[in-house]
Amino acid sequence: MSQREDAKAERRRRIVAAARDLIRETGDAGLSMRAIAARAHVSLTTPYNLFGSKRAIVIAVLEDVREFHDRFSNLRHTDPIDRIFHALRLSLGYYAEDPDFYRTLWSEALNPGGKELRSELITPQRYAFWWALLVEAQRDGALLADLDLDLLLRSLDLVFGATMLAWVLGGLQVDELEASVGFGYALALRGAANPDSQPGIEKRLKTYQRQLVRSRKKAQAA
Amino acid sequence: MSQREDAKAERRRRIVAAARDLIRETGDAGLSMRAIAARAHVSLTTPYNLFGSKRAIVIAVLEDVREFHDRFSNLRHTDPIDRIFHALRLSLGYYAEDPDFYRTLWSEALNPGGKELRSELITPQRYAFWWALLVEAQRDGALLADLDLDLLLRSLDLVFGATMLAWVLGGLQVDELEASVGFGYALALRGAANPDSQPGIEKRLKTYQRQLVRSRKKAQAA
DNA sequence: CACATTATTCATACGTGTTATGATTATAGG
DNA sequence: CCTATAATCATAACACGTATGAATAATGTG
């Protein structure tokens, strides 16, 4: 790699790190392009040259932390359906540990303000991981045979993204996140499942429902 | 109503109309608070007094046009499930006729930039309409008896909102909107349905799947 | 090594949503 | 009719994301 590309990669790294740290320290309040640029010791224009927009930077941060805890990919579970919900639980566990950080991240990532017109919220690796799970489930006969798994996966992603959006817009608490996404996943997966596999998913559905109803009652009391 | 409140309501009306017309004529490019205020013949500060934020104005516009075509609420169908998909079709038909208008609307409405932290994307009337449909479906035995309809409705709304977001972010074409939301609805409803009602929903699922696969192939060819 | 090219950074400016500040107007109550 | 008051007004300011052209650094070639 040339010296130029090297320096560029270094700047990129510094910018992502600066954004990550700023979110960690000050929340979304202190996350301005000027602050990011100053912290990364680059000019205000440089992040635009290297990333294109603020949203792209935030998405890079999101990918950065994701890579970190995508290790659960090699978890071994007998049932692929079980693995889906297990992965969900692990993933959202990080959110519960550091809600301010992730809420800011998603808030900026879902910001439709710009003109770029690309989501890029799902990487090829993540796609491959989930797709493999669905393929396995379908081969096991758990899912409808003639269902397009690409569309099913897209639907699950929609549920996930929508829940993040609801969280960001204030319609959801952190402790409701897992149950909310889980309920949506269970609904969709039961809808995609063959009769034999439905009871197990239905059980999860009811579990998440209990959690959500409980936290809703608690919210009404307050 | 006092004369003062009357004048206030008038200004409110003018502001919403100004925003609506500006979106219609210039898209999101010309939709600035200064332009809205000028067009409504009010000061820049007045919209903030009456609505609080730009997003609130846009949501008011969204409600305004919704009221206009909420007449399908009194459509009579035998099957409540059928009515759900029929309402969906009618609703998204308007979007297909005027995509730029609605895309701008949703783009601004989903903008999480502000600090307000309230979604307000669903009004009591809309909620009541959909809830009545679901109650009827459950009483007919179509849906699982012990399923919380509030949560199901919330899930359907998440699918809808997420699809709008995907549209806004550029991951979806206008002509894919109905099939995309429909696929998600069918998945969730089949997941919420009793065995007897599942075949009918499954048929819809496959229909939407065919549409989506077709338009995806067409997109790949280009 | 020196030079011309080109990629990258820089300082600056623009338009945005939003808020603050007094002045000004129109309404409500006596 | 007159005063108190609530609303709007014009204006300026703030911080933000982004666009632009000038300045600067690294690169490949003679």
| Range with lowest mean pLDDT among A8-12, A123-127, A165-169, A200-204 | A123-127
Residue of B nearest to A115 (CA): B169
pLDDT exceeds 80 at position B23 = yes
One domain, residues B22 and B76: no
Q: How far is it, in rounded angstroms, from Cα B61 to Cα B8?
A: 17
pLDDT value of position A185: 98
One domain, residues B107 and B209: yes
pLDDT value of position B82: 92
Nucleotide nearest to B32 (CA to C1'): C16
One domain, residues B146 and B176: yes
Asked if B112's CB is within 8 angstroms of A165's CB, the reply is yes
Both tokens of residue A20?
Answer: 């990550």
pLDDT exceeds 60 at position A181 = yes
Q: How far is it, in rounded angstroms, from Cα B138 to Cα B133?
A: 9
Nucleotide nearest to B56 (CA to C1'): C17
Asked if B205's CB is within 8 angstroms of A191's CB, the reply is yes
One domain, residues A67 and A55: no
Q: How far is it, in rounded angstroms, from Cα A83 to Cα A77?
A: 6
Distance from CA of A120 to the nearest CA of B (A): 9
The answer to whether some atom of strand D lies closer than 7 Å to the beta carbon of A54 is yes
The answer to whether some atom of strand C lies closer than 7 Å to the beta carbon of A43 is yes
Note the pLDDT tens digit of each residue in B144-172.
Answer: 999 999 999 999 999 998 999 889 888 88
Distance from CA of A169 to the nearest CA of B (A): 5
One domain, residues A175 and A121: yes
The secondary element (H helix, E strand) that includes residue A31 is none
Confidence bin at A129 (pLDDT 50/70/90)? confident
Note the pLDDT tens digit of each residue in B26-82.
Answer: 988 889 999 999 999 999 999 999 999 999 999 999 988 877 666 665 666 678 899
Q: How far is it, in rounded angstroms, from Cα A149 to Cα A151?
A: 5
Which residues contact residue B29 at a Cβ distance below 8 angstroms, ignoring those fewer than 6 apart? none
Length A115 CA → C19 C1' (Å):
27
Mean pLDDT of all residues in A136-159: 95
pLDDT value of position A29: 79
Instruction: Mark which of B60, B77, B103 sits at the end of a domain.
Output: B60
One domain, residues A40 and A148: no
pLDDT value of position B110: 86
Instruction: Mark which of A36, A60, A84 sits at the end of a domain.
Output: A60
Distance from CA of A141 to the nearest CA of B (A): 17
Note the pLDDT tens digit of each residue in A57-97.
Answer: 999 998 888 766 666 656 666 788 998 999 899 889 989 99
Residues of A in contact with B190 (CB under 8 A): 190-192
Confidence bin at A7 (pLDDT 50/70/90)? confident
Q: How far is it, in rounded angstroms, from Cα B159 to Cα B157?
A: 5
Length A44 CA → C13 C1' (Å):
13
pLDDT value of position B219: 84
Q: How far is it, in rounded angstroms, from Cα A138 to Cα A143?
A: 5
Per-residue buried b or exposed e for B113-146, using 16+ beta carbons within 10 Å of the residue's own CB: eeeeeebbbeeeebeebbeebbeebbeeebbbee
Asked if B184's CB is within 8 angstroms of A155's CB, the reply is yes
pLDDT exceeds 70 at position B2 = yes
Note the pLDDT tens digit of each residue in A97-110.
Answer: 999 899 989 988 88
- Confirm or reject contact between B163 and chain A (CB < 8 A): yes
Distance from CA of B16 to the nearest CA of A (A): 21
Question: Look-up: residue for tokens 């927009």?
Answer: A53
One domain, residues A52 and A73: no
- Confirm or reject contact between A153 and chain B (CB < 8 A): no
Q: Considering all CA atoms of chain A, what is the largest pairwise distance in Å, rounded to the nearest integer?
A: 62
Structural domain harbouring B52: 3-60
Which residues contact residue A164 at a Cβ distance below 8 angstroms, ignoring those fewer than 6 apart? A106, A110
Contact by Cβ (8 Å): B200, B81: yes
Asked if A166's CB is within 8 angstroms of B119's CB, the reply is yes
Contact by Cβ (8 Å): A11, A48: no
Q: Name the amino acid, one letter, at B116.
A: E
Task: Give A97's Cβ-side CA count (13 Å radius).
Answer: 6
Task: Give A18's Cβ-side CA count (13 Å radius).
Answer: 23
pLDDT value of position A70: 61
Both tokens of residue A80?
Answer: 């692929």
Which residues contact residue A44 at a Cβ distance below 8 angstroms, ignoring those fewer than 6 apart? A33, A34, A37
What are A143's strand-pairing partners? Answer: A193
Confidence bin at B215 (pLDDT 50/70/90)? very high
One domain, residues A122 and A196: yes
pLDDT value of position A74: 60
Interface size A-B, in CB pairs within 8 Å, comes to 130
- Confirm or reject contact between A90 and chain B (CB < 8 A): no
Split into its structural domains, chain B has a count of 2
pLDDT exceeds 60 at position A1 = no
Mean pLDDT of all residues in B192-218: 96
Please, what is the average pLDDT of chain A? 88
One domain, residues A53 and A76: no
3-class DSSP assignment, residue B190:
helix
Asked if B189's CB is within 8 angstroms of A118's CB, the reply is no
Query: pTM score, two decimals?
Result: 0.90
pLDDT value of position B3: 80
Asked if A212's CB is within 8 angstroms of B191's CB, the reply is no
**Which chain C nucleotides are covered by protein, judged by CB under 7 A?**
7-13, 15-21, 26-28
pLDDT value of position B115: 57
One domain, residues A104 and A121: yes
Contact by Cβ (8 Å): B158, A184: yes
- Confirm or reject contact between A202 and chain B (CB < 8 A): yes
Mean pLDDT of all residues in A113-125: 67
The answer to whether some atom of strand D lies closer than 7 Å to the beta carbon of B44 is yes
Note the pLDDT tens digit of each residue in B99-136.
Answer: 999 999 999 888 876 555 566 677 788 888 899 999 99
Q: How far is it, in rounded angstroms, from Cα B222 to Cα B141?
A: 46
Nucleotide nearest to B43 (CA to C1'): D9
CATH at residue A160: 1.10.357
pLDDT value of position B114: 58
CATH at residue A27: 1.10.10.60
Closest C-alpha to B91, from B120, B124, B123, B66: B66
pLDDT value of position A221: 84
The answer to whether some atom of strand D lies closer than 7 Å to the beta carbon of B107 is no
One domain, residues B109 and B197: yes
pLDDT value of position B7: 87
Residues of B in contact with A163 (CB under 8 A): 158
Length A9 CA → D30 C1' (Å):
31
One domain, residues A161 and A77: yes
Instruction: Mark which of A15, A45, A60 sits at the end of a domain.
Output: A60
